[in-house]
Structure 1
Amino acid sequence: MANEPGRNLDECARIAESAGVHTVICLFTDTWGVPRGKHLPIRQFLRGGRFTTAAVALSWNPRSDVQPTPWAEMDSEFKDMAVVADLDTFRIAGWTEGTAVVVCDTVDLETGEPTAMDARAMLKRTLREYAELGMTVNQAPELEFHLFGADWKPISDKSLCYSVDRADELDTVLGAIRGALLRTGIDCEASNVEYGPSQIEINLRYAAGITSIDETVLFRLITRAVARRHGYHATFMVKPINGGAGSGMHIHQSLVDTQGRNVFAVPDSPGHALPSKAMQGYVAGLLRRQLDLQVLAMPTVTAYRRAEDYSFSPTQVCWGMDNRLVGVRCLTPDEPGTRVEVRWGAADANPYLLAHGYLQAGLEGMRDNAPLQPVSTGDPHADTALPRLAPSLDKAVEAFHGSEFARRAYGDMFVDTFTVMQRNELAAFGAHITDWEFARYADIF
């Protein structure tokens, strides 16, 4: 069921009654982008559409281990925050019976304001900023994932990209995922076998504002849930197979003015590859702030296994037209379809944080009329003058921590807390003896 703006609890009650809903999944995403929350009986949900939970959920590690951070120090008493349903997102959960789902915001119990760590609230503020300038944002994240069997073994060791035969073999589970998405009101456009062994892509249609980002979180949740029910495991881990392809989160973005015109397609830049000055400034902003935002686009150690030359995962700060080797791909097929595709993101990124950062960078670039570096054509990897991505997570973390742009966009509390969270992840990784190390050295030394 599609969202209806301005929905209230009475309307939710009518929807729930007509669909036989007895349970509402109330979810928020933690800072890693992992859905968290509670299942509420419908009667309890209708008493207020909110509950309280530990605020430390916004600064723990992906496994829910609590470590001290500026957001939740050990003497902080680990107080509660409110989790408040955004009723406009209330919809029937198309992957299970008798259940609805609603996306929630986190709110400080003392001030009534969004918590300083709430990525969804950050994105909503940015969307309001665009609205005040007379612009609506259209977005469409594009994600890949891998399918494993019930034993966590890859379902294939072969690359069968776009194979219709292979897709037919998998249609029991892929068709079920597509159907669950559609029943949840998420407009699914296509699915296909992707570039790497066991890799799949399902495309969602673009939507305005925050809707597409909410639906990205639901998409990952639904995909994993439906796959489990069919005897598979789906993972958005960036690179779960040695030698395989990495899974990305490409975000397509465009801007629409109050007259319904695509701002990127307005022809006010004769002789330039990009049709509008706004699009030039937006792309320039993305390029200028890529290194500031890299840790949000590539937030795990494994994400850096994906960024390899000639892997269709961009390794440089560059842009081009219809070129899959660049970081920002600019597609100008017609006015409605003119858009940027930002290709740096990994499939495990928090889509709220990433969309917010890209929109802030683009807005800064447009406001500053930032100069746009030359277009990359052909093979950008051969251009040694192009800046390269930070080669590892630790380098990306320090760039983020020291970025004035990041502090303006996300706030000091978020930047300082996320920095500590990432340093803790790096320390845990550095202390672990890997299977590779054991196999390499144990019987030699």
Structure 2
Amino acid sequence: MLTLEELATQVDRGDIDTVVVAITDMQGRLQGKRFHARHFMDEVVANGTEGCNYLLAVDVEMNTVEGYEMSSWSRGYGDFAMTPDFSTLRPMPWHPGTALVIADLNWLDHDHTPVPASPRQILQKQLARLADAGYRAYAGTELEFVLYKNSYEDAYARGYRDLTPGNIFNADYSLLQTARVEPFLRRLRNDMFGAGLTPESAKGECNLGQHEVAFKYDEAQAACDNHVIYKNGAKEIAAQEGMSVTFMAKPNAREGNSCHIHFSLRGVRDGKPVAYGDGPGHTSPVMGAAMAGMLATMREFTLLFAPNINSYKRYVAGSFAPTAVRWGTDNRTCSLRLVGHGPASMRVENRVPGADVNPYLAVAGLVAGALHGIENDLALEDEYVGNAYVDETAPHVPATLRDALALWEGSEIARNAFGEDVVAHYANNAKVELTAFDAAVTDWELVRGFERL
């Protein structure tokens, strides 16, 4: 990480000549500007910068779309302020002479009020509520990707078909197979370490060319900051190496890309973990209530965990992606998996999100769910033992984006936690995607119907 003083010294020496100011959009992508480092020091440090507010009102292809209250043609698509959070300032080792800082979004009014739909600020609001209740959230995101030996340009030219995966066999835990792409994985680990992240390990996964790099558990906002920097950086590093990675939840018919999110609570004042106790699975009363709240809100908040049409292709029995809204101790068939050994490491793993998730929104959903359980003193149901895929009595993760949208729009818990404006904003995002998909003619339809119907 860098302090402003360290940055100034490196700019004066000519070691850094570019500073990237980045925000996270609705889709969880980094957007922003590159500044000459001298201008950044002379102007942006004191005054911030600005960007068009359509950045939180477009679809995944950056098309302007209807239905957003905060940003539209009738409102003129004005600017909002991008205010750097200098605690996130860091080098970007994969770009020579470059540093990066994450910014928050504020309206250009007298008080510089936060933009409610900004994912980072949605999380900040939930973390403030949690702090008022006496707790801090810690999180870790396990982000999977599929690596291809094709460049992004080649993949596009091929229509994303007939690509060559980084590994030709199932490489789950395989040292032999992962060694084939270790130069890329090694650079990924080392460049992320140079950017202030703490990589722990890299391992192969089940899909062809599928891998996961794990990072150290951290405070919730820092974990999400690191997540978006890593995801963007992984794509940029792959491109530099003439390869490509995808974080699609389900890029093909094999295993999908997950983003399991580990979550725990600590006291605000003493910083001590509060998850361990004498309750079910050795949970404390507060952890039991938090998990009960996560289960109670899982279906209504699934839109935050699975934001795209493709997200729902993961939820197949026997796929290691959950279908039943149950919890179990070290049970990978459940939506919530309780893990850890003793007071210091006990945490809950939400297995619902895929790698396409926006981490700020997903962790905000976990915090809001935990608070719902704590504030209402919910009792944790008995843990599920066995194969939760065959539990016919369990509530199920919504099967489609349309189902998740209906649950989100009908949720009073979501309105109370996030506000009517946030619920409406992200409901519209889902409607935009559904409208686009409903109008598309898919390859499946062509194969099934071109000749035979």
TM exceeds 0.5? yes
Q: 2:44 is matched with which residue: 45, 48, 54? A: 48
For the pair 1:440 / 2:448, whether they are aligned, the reply is yes
SS in 2 for 1:210: helix
Provide closer, same or farther for how the CA distance between residues 18 and 409 of structure 1 changes in structure 2, counting only shifts above 3 A: farther
Ranges of 4+ aligned residues in structure 1 off by more than 6 Å: none
Counterpart of 2:158 in structure 1 is none
Aligned CA distance change for structure 1 residues 268 and 367 (closer, same or farther; 3 Å): farther
Matches within 5 A, 1:417-432: 417-432=425-440
Q: Matches of 2:71 and 2:223 in 1, distance apart?
A: 31
Equivalent position SS for 1:261? coil
Distance 2:5 2:211 in 1: 40
Distance 1:263 1:244, change over 3 A: same
Match of 1:140 in 2: 140
* Structure 1 segment 140-289 matched on structure 2, within 5 A: 140-150=140-150, 151-152=154-155, 153-155=163-165, 156-241=167-252, 243-257=253-267, 258-265=269-276, 267-269=277-279, 272-289=280-297
1:203-226 deviation line (CA, Å, top 9, x unaligned): 011112411110000010111111
Question: Over residues 43-100 of structure 1, what are the superposed CA-to-partner deviations in whole Å (9 max), with x where a residue is unaligned?
Answer: 2212133211111110100110001122223311111101111011001112111000
Contact 2:137–2:265 (CA<8 Å) still a contact in 1? yes
> Partner of 1:37 in structure 2?
32
Matches within 5 A, 1:301-340: 301-340=309-348
1:20 equivalent to 2:15? Answer: yes
Q: 1:60 aligns with which of 58, 61, 66?
A: 58
Superposed displacement of residue 273, structure 1? 2.2
1:195 alignment partner, SS class? coil
1:260-409 equivalence runs, <5 A? 260-265=271-276, 267-269=277-279, 272-409=280-417
What SS is found at the alignment partner of 1:302? helix
Checking the alignment, whether the CA contact within 8 Å between 1:291 and 1:390 is kept in structure 2 is: yes
**CA offset digits 1:385-415 (Å, max 9, x no partner):** 0011111111101111111121222222221
What TM-score, normalized to structure 2?
0.93
Question: Runs of 5+ in structure 2 lacking a partner?
Answer: 156-162
1:314-367 residue CA offsets vs partner (Å, 9 max, x unmatched): 011110001111101111412111111111111111100110111111012012
Q: Distance in 2 between matches of 1:137 and 1:352?
A: 12
Where 1:273 maps in the other structure, the secondary structure is helix
Give the distance between the partners of 2:220 and 2:251, measured in 1 at CA: 32
| Counterpart Cα distance in 1 of 2:217 and 2:273 | 14
CA gap 1:195/1:14 in 2 versus in 1, 3 angstroms: same
Instruction: List gaps (5 residues or longer) in structure 1.
Output: none
Contact 2:171–2:178 (CA under 8 A) maintained in structure 1: no
1:260 deviates by 3.7
Q: RMSD of the alignment, in Å? A: 1.6
Partner of 1:112: 112
Does the residue aligned with 2:257 lie in a helix, a strand or coil? coil
Could you list the per-position Cα deviations for residues 142-172 of structure 1 after superposition, in whole angstroms to 9, with x for gaps in the alignment? 1101111223314145322111011111011
Would you say the 8 A contact 1:16–1:100 is kept in 2?
Answer: no
Letter in 1 for 2:190: G
CA distance in 2, matches of 1:134, 1:393: 34
Distance 2:126 2:11 in 1: 32
| CA–CA separation in structure 1 for the residues paired with 2:124 and 2:418 | 12
Please say if residues 274 and 280 of structure 1, whose CA atoms lie closer than 8 Å, have aligned partners that are also in contact.
no
Q: Which amino acid letter does the alignment assign opposite residue 115 of structure 1?
A: V
Against the structure 1 CA distance between its residues 430 and 294, is the aligned structure 2 distance closer, same or farther, given a 3 Å change threshold? Answer: same
Q: 1:99 to 1:319 in 2, by over 3 A?
A: same
Q: What are the Cα deviations for residues 88-117 of structure 1, in whole angstroms up to 9, with x where unaligned?
A: 100111211100011111110024011021
Evaluate the alpha carbon distance shift between residue 381 and residue 94 of structure 1 in structure 2; reply closer, same or farther with a 3 A threshold: same
* Corresponding residue of 2:75: 76
Conservation of the 8 A alpha-carbon contact between 1:195 and 1:245: yes
CA distance in 2, matches of 1:275, 1:237: 34
Q: Helix, strand or coil for the counterpart of 2:72? A: coil
- Distance in 2, matches of 1:10 and 1:38, equals 22
> Which stretch of the first structure deviates more once superposed, 30-39 or 45-54?
45-54
Tell me if the contact between 1:188 and 1:202 (Cα under 8 Å) persists in the aligned partners: yes
1:15, CA displacement in angstroms?
A: 5.1
Q: Scaled by the length of structure 1, what TM-score is found?
A: 0.94
For the Cα contact (< 8 Å) 1:95–1:183, is it kept in 2?
Answer: no
Shift of the 17–247 alpha-carbon distance from structure 1 to 2, 3 Å rule, reads farther
1:18 Cα deviation after fit: 6.0
Give, in whole Å, the separation in 1 of the partners of 2:13 and 2:317: 53
- Secondary structure in 1 aligned to 2:260? strand
SS at match of 1:263: coil
